[in-house]
Chains A and B, each alone.
Chain A
C-alpha cells in the first residue's frame, strides 16, 4: 500500500535531480519564512517582542488547525469551502448551548462547558458528515457541495443569533480555555501542536492516512486495490469540519461571546492558501500537514510583518495573492522538470 502511494508521489528520477527538485519544492517556504522574519526583525523593534510572538503563534495556531483539516480533504482530491462558516456555526452553537445550560441547569460549570464544547464539535461533525456523504455517495464535486453548505451553514449561524453576539457563557470557560496560559503560551498553541503531531502520525503511520493518499493519487486504482474509499472520503470531510469547529470554540473562548461573524470567507481562503503554499497538490495525493502548518505560520507572520512595517492593509492582499500563485507555479515547474527527465 505505502509502496504504491510513495511511487505515485515521487516519480523515479536520478538521485541528484530528485534532491534538486525537492529542494526547489520544499526549500522555498523556509527561505521565505527566514527572509520575512530576518527582514522584519531588523526593520521593526516590536516584531521580536514577547507579546507579538505570542500573538503571532496564537493566530497561526487557529489557522494551522483549520488548514490541517483542509489539507486532508485536498489530499484526498476534494475541497472544503465550508470551514469558515463552520467556525461561525460552532461558535454560535457552543455559546447558545452553554448559555442555555448555565441558566437552566445552573449546575457545575465543568458540565456546562463540556456539553457546550461537545455541541459545538457536534455541529462541525454534522456539517462534515453531510459534505462527506454528498461527495462519496452522490459523487458530486466537493467544490459545489461545500459551496452550498457554506451558504447554508452561514445562514443557520445567523438565523440562530440574528447576527447578535451570544453572551452568558460560564466565566470559567473564558478564563480556563480562552485566556489561560501554560508556560507563558495560550493553550490554543498546545492544542494546535497536538493536532499537527497527531495528523502527521496519521498521515504516515495509519491505514486511514495512507488510504487518503491512495484515493487522492488515483481513485480508480484505490477502488481496484480494495480501499473502502467512501468511508475514508467521509472521514476527511468530518475531520475538516471538526477541526474548524474546534477553532470556532477556541475563538469563542478568546473573544468571550458566540458570534456568527467569526471565521467567514477570509478564514476559508486562508486555509486553502496555507494548504497550497504548504505543498498540497490540488490534484490530490500529495501533501504533508506539518509543512502546511509551517505555511500557516508563514502567512500569519507575513500579515503581522506587513502590519508592523505600516504597509497599507489594503495592499496586503496583493502580496498574499502573488506569493500564492508564485509558490504553486514554482511547484508545478519543478514537478514538470522532474517528470521530463
Chain B
C-alpha cells in the first residue's frame, strides 16, 4: 500500500497491478472450478464401476449424508477463517444430542404434551452448544490461549459432560415430532436434513459476504494486528465466531439425534477431525482469511461421495481410512502449490 492518494497515481502505473490482479482472478477461478470438476469425474468414475452409484435414490442419499458433514464443515470453517479451529465440535455434538434427548424424554415422558417437550429440547440443546462456544471464545479471545489448547480442553469437558449426564448409555424417548422436523419430514419431496443444510448455507453465505460481522472475520483471519488497528473489535468478534461455530454444530447434533432416534453419548466421535478435513479439502486455509460456505460444502460433498462410492464398489473400510488420509494431505499440498503459483 502506497501512502500517495489514489487520485494522484499515474494511470500507467495503476494498469500493471490491475492486469496482475485480473490474472490472479483467473487463477482463482480455475482453482475454484477444479474441485467441482473433480467431484463430477469422481461420480462418473464410481458410476462406471457400479450401477447403483448414479441412481436417483443414491444421489439423494449422498446429498442427505453430505448435508450433515456440510453443516459441521461450515461450523468449523467459521472459526478456521479467524485462524482458529474447534476440536470440541465432535464432543459438543454428543453433548447436545444427549442433553436434548434427556430434556425431551424428561418433559414429554411425564404425559405432558409433546410440543413443549420438543421446543424445550431444542432450546436446551442449542443453549448448551452456545455455552460451549462462549467457553471456547472467552478462553481464546480474552485469556489468549491458543485455539488448539482451548478447544482440546473444552473437548475433554464436553466428553465428560456427555457421558456423565447420559450414564454412558443411549438416551431413549425422543418424541416423534422431533424426528419429523429434523429427519423424516420433507419439503417438496426433499428431506428436511437437506433443506436445513441448504437454508443454513445460504444464510451463512450472506452473513459472511454481506455483513460487517462476516467481512470482519475475514480481516481478522488475514491480519489480526491490522484488524485491531483498523478498529475491528477483534475479541468480541472472535467470541461470536466460536459461538456461531458451536451453535451450528448444535443444530447438526439435533439433526443427527433425530436420525438415530436417541441421544448418543458418542455421536460426535471423529466429527471434529472429519469437519476440519472437509473444510481443508474444500480449500479453506488454516492460515485464516480464505474460505467460505462453498468450500465447506464442496469439501463435505467430496468426502461423502468418495466414501459412498468406495462403500458401493466394495473398498475395504481400512483402505478407505488410508485414502482419506492421503486426500487430506493432497488437498493441502495442492492448496499450497496454487498459493505459490499466484
Residues of chain A touching chain B, judged by Cβ–Cβ distance below 8 Å, are: 79, 134, 138-141, 143-145, 147-156, 158-159, 162, 269, 272-273, 276, 282-283, 312, 314-322, 324-325, 328-329, 332-333, 336
A325 with B325: CB separation less than 8 A: no
Residues of chain B touching chain A, judged by Cβ–Cβ distance below 8 Å, are: 139, 143-146, 148-150, 152-157, 159-161, 163-164, 167-168, 273, 276-277, 280, 286-287, 316, 318-322, 324-329, 331-333, 336-337
Residue on B with the closest CB to A140? B332
A-B CB contact pairs (8 Å), 11 listed: A140-B332, A141-B287, A144-B276, A150-B273, A151-B322, A155-B324, A269-B156, A316-B160, A324-B153, A329-B139, A332-B143
A147 with B328: CB separation less than 8 A: yes
| Set of chain A residues within 8 Å of B287, measured between Cβ atoms | 141
Residue on B with the closest CB to A134? B329
B316 with A314: CB separation less than 8 A: no
Give complex CA distance A317, B94 in Å.
14
| Set of chain B residues within 8 Å of A317, measured between Cβ atoms | 156-157, 159-160
| Set of chain A residues within 8 Å of B277, measured between Cβ atoms | 147-148, 151
B329 with A140: CB separation less than 8 A: yes
- From B157, B168, B322, A156 is in contact (CB under 8 Å) with B322
Residue on A with the closest CB to B321? A155
Give complex CA distance A319, B157 in Å.
7
| Set of chain A residues within 8 Å of B160, measured between Cβ atoms | 314-319, 321
Give complex CA distance A156, B318 in Å.
7
Residue on A with the closest CB to B136? A325
A140 with B333: CB separation less than 8 A: yes
B328 with A144: CB separation less than 8 A: yes
Give complex CA distance A124, B139 in Å.
35
- Min C-beta distance of A296 to chain B, whole Å: 16
A147 with B149: CB separation less than 8 A: no
Residue on A with the closest CB to B336? A140
- From B139, B152, B159, B329, A144 is in contact (CB under 8 Å) with B329
| Set of chain A residues within 8 Å of B320, measured between Cβ atoms | 155
10 nearest interchain CB pairs?
A155-B321, A321-B156, A152-B325, A151-B325, A318-B160, A325-B153, A148-B329, A148-B328, A155-B322, A317-B156
Looking at chain B's contact residues, the main secondary structure is helix
Give complex CA distance A282, B83 in Å.
14
| Set of chain A residues within 8 Å of B163, measured between Cβ atoms | 314
Residue on A with the closest CB to B159? A317
The answer to whether residues A333 and B143 also contact, given A156-B322, A314-B164, A321-B154 and a CB cut-off of 8 A, is yes
- Min C-beta distance of B141 to chain A, whole Å: 12
B286 with A144: CB separation less than 8 A: yes
| Set of chain B residues within 8 Å of A318, measured between Cβ atoms | 156-157, 160-161, 164
Give complex CA distance A55, B325 in Å.
35
- Min C-beta distance of B147 to chain A, whole Å: 9
Residue on B with the closest CB to A130? B329
- From A159, A272, A324, B319 is in contact (CB under 8 Å) with A159
Give complex CA distance A332, B316 in Å.
46
| Set of chain A residues within 8 Å of B337, measured between Cβ atoms | 138
| Set of chain A residues within 8 Å of B321, measured between Cβ atoms | 151-152, 154-155, 158
| Set of chain B residues within 8 Å of A332, measured between Cβ atoms | 143-145
B164 with A151: CB separation less than 8 A: no
- Min C-beta distance of A281 to chain B, whole Å: 8
Give complex CA distance A148, B156 in Å.
22
- From B149, B164, B273, A325 is in contact (CB under 8 Å) with B149
A149 with B143: CB separation less than 8 A: no
B152 with A159: CB separation less than 8 A: no
Residue on B with the closest CB to A281? B146
B143 with A145: CB separation less than 8 A: no
B332 with A144: CB separation less than 8 A: yes
| Set of chain B residues within 8 Å of A145, measured between Cβ atoms | 329, 332
B152 with A149: CB separation less than 8 A: no
A320 with B325: CB separation less than 8 A: no
- Min C-beta distance of A75 to chain B, whole Å: 14
A325 with B322: CB separation less than 8 A: no
Give complex CA distance A158, B276 in Å.
23
Beyond the given pairs A143-B286, A273-B152, A314-B164, 14 more chain A to chain B contacts, judged by CB atoms under 8 angstroms and listed by A's residue number, are A140-B329, A141-B286, A144-B331, A144-B332, A145-B332, A153-B325, A159-B316, A276-B152, A314-B160, A316-B160, A318-B156, A321-B155, A328-B146, A329-B144
Which one of B156, B159, B286 has the highest number of Cβ atoms from chain A below 10 Å of its Cβ?
Answer: B156
- Min C-beta distance of B93 to chain A, whole Å: 16
The answer to whether residues A147 and B156 also contact, given A155-B322, A336-B144 and a CB cut-off of 8 A, is no
- Min C-beta distance of B238 to chain A, whole Å: 15
Which one of A79, A329, A336 has the highest number of Cβ atoms from chain B below 10 Å of its Cβ?
Answer: A329
B318 with A159: CB separation less than 8 A: yes
Give complex CA distance A332, B150 in Å.
12
- From A138, A140, A148, A321, B325 is in contact (CB under 8 Å) with A148
The answer to whether residues A328 and B149 also contact, given A143-B286, A159-B316 and a CB cut-off of 8 A, is yes
Give complex CA distance A317, B150 in Å.
14
A329 with B156: CB separation less than 8 A: no
| Set of chain A residues within 8 Å of B327, measured between Cβ atoms | 148
| Set of chain B residues within 8 Å of A272, measured between Cβ atoms | 148, 152
Residue on B with the closest CB to A336? B144
